[in-house]
A = this chain, B = another copy of it.
Amino acid sequence: MIVNKVLPRFFSHICDVPLSATDAAGVLYFGRLFDLCHSAYEAALRAGAKPLRAYLTGEIILPIVRCEAQFKQPIYCSDSLRIDLSLGDLKDSSFQIHYHLYGVTGGDLLCAIAMTHHVCIDRHSRQRSSLPPELVAMLTASI
């Protein structure tokens, strides 16, 4: 389950919360948290492995089979967030990423945490496949 302690991060991403991610309750729509986290993961891939598009058409696919989030503080339109990515469970054909989202205006405030669990599948055989080495390198780096 979601870990509250701050793990060593392998990537950090800054984003502003767009109007399109909010809802009529006046805050972030809960499901859009995953869009923000996944965009941070895509930025990590671009910087440290390959752009996501390469994985959409390659030999292996990396579907998300589980995800979780906890909301600790309201997140508003135009808030600047820093999303720290850290590695959770890592196995031969799967990995988990933990996301810690901090409001960065006036000191770091932990607003939300999230987790995505990815498995690596051979596109053709549909069997589990080992994670590609550049992805393992990205996940096990630290900053």
Contacts and interface: CB of A to CB of B under 8 A. Distances in A.
Interface string A1-42: 100000000000000101110111111011111110011001
A52 B18 CA distance: 9
Interface string A24-64: 11110111111100110011001000011110100001011
Nearest to A35: B20
A77 B38 CA distance: 12
B35 A51 contact: no
Contacts of A110: none
A142 to B, nearest CB: 24
User: For this complex, into which size category does the number of interface residues on chain A fall?
Assistant: 35 or more
Contacts of A124: none
A107 B46 CA distance: 19
B67 A68 contact: yes
Interface of A: 1, 16, 18-20, 22-27, 29-35, 38-39, 42-43, 46, 51-54, 56, 61, 63-71, 74, 76-79, 116
Given A34-B34, A53-B79, A67-B69, 17 more contacts: A16-B43, A16-B46, A19-B25, A19-B29, A19-B52, A22-B23, A24-B24, A24-B53, A24-B56, A30-B64, A30-B67, A31-B31, A31-B33, A52-B77, A53-B77, A63-B71, A66-B70
